[in-house]
Amino acid sequence: MVKKRLCCCGWFILFSHLLLAALVCSKNHGNPANDLVEIINNNRTAHKLSKLNDSPGLGCIALQYAELCKGNCSINNTVNCKPSEDDFTEVFAPDCGVELPTFGTITGHIVGCQSKYLEPSLAFAHVLVRDSKALSILRNKSHTEVGVGMVRVHKGPFFWSVLFSSGKTNSTFVLENRGAGIQQKKGCYSGSSIPCSAGQQNATLGLNNVMIMGFLCVVYLLKQFHFNL
Ligand SMILES: *[C@@H]1O[C@H](CO)[C@@H](O)[C@H](O)[C@H]1NC(C)=O
Ligand SMILES: *[C@@H]1O[C@H](CO)[C@@H](O)[C@H](O)[C@H]1NC(C)=O
Ligand SMILES: *[C@@H]1O[C@H](CO)[C@@H](O)[C@H](O)[C@H]1NC(C)=O
Ligand SMILES: *[C@@H]1O[C@H](CO)[C@@H](O)[C@H](O)[C@H]1NC(C)=O
Ligand SMILES: *[C@@H]1O[C@H](CO)[C@@H](O)[C@H](O)[C@H]1NC(C)=O
Tens digit of each residue's pLDDT (9 = 90 or more) over 169-184: 778 999 998 888 888 8
Contact by Cβ (8 Å): 40, 125: no
For the segment 81-90, what is each residue's pLDDT rounded down to a tens digit? Answer: 989 999 999 9
CATH numeric code, 32-194: 3.40.33.10
Cβ–ligand 1 contact at 74 (below 6 Å): yes
Pocket (CB within 6 angstroms of ligand 3): 107-108, 136, 140, 142
Choice from 72, 74, 79, 127 to test ligand 1 binding pocket (greatest atom count within 8 A of CB): 74
Rounded to two decimals, the pTM is 0.76
For the segment 22-51, what is each residue's pLDDT rounded down to a tens digit? Answer: 444 344 457 999 999 999 999 999 999 999
Residues in contact with 153: Cβ distance below 8 Å, sequence separation at least 6, in sequence order: 70, 71, 73, 159
Q: Where are the alpha helices (DSSP H) in 69-200?
A: 85-86, 93-96, 120-123, 132-138, 176-179
User: Strands, E, within 72-185: which ranges?
Assistant: 106-114, 145-152, 158-165
Residue 31 burial class via C-beta count within 10 angstroms: exposed 0-12, middle 13-18, buried 19 and up = buried
What are the φ and ψ backbone dihedral angles of 37, each rounded to 5 degrees? -60, -40
- Work out the percent of the chain whose per-residue pLDDT is above 70: 73
Q: Tell how far the Cα of 81 is from the centroid of ligand 2, in angstroms.
A: 6
Choice from 51, 129, 132 to test ligand 4 binding pocket (greatest atom count within 8 A of CB): 129
DSSP 180-228: T-PPPSSSEETT-SSPP-SSSHHHHHHHHHHHHHHHHHHHHHHHHHHHH
Closest residue by CA, ligand 2 atom 12: 81
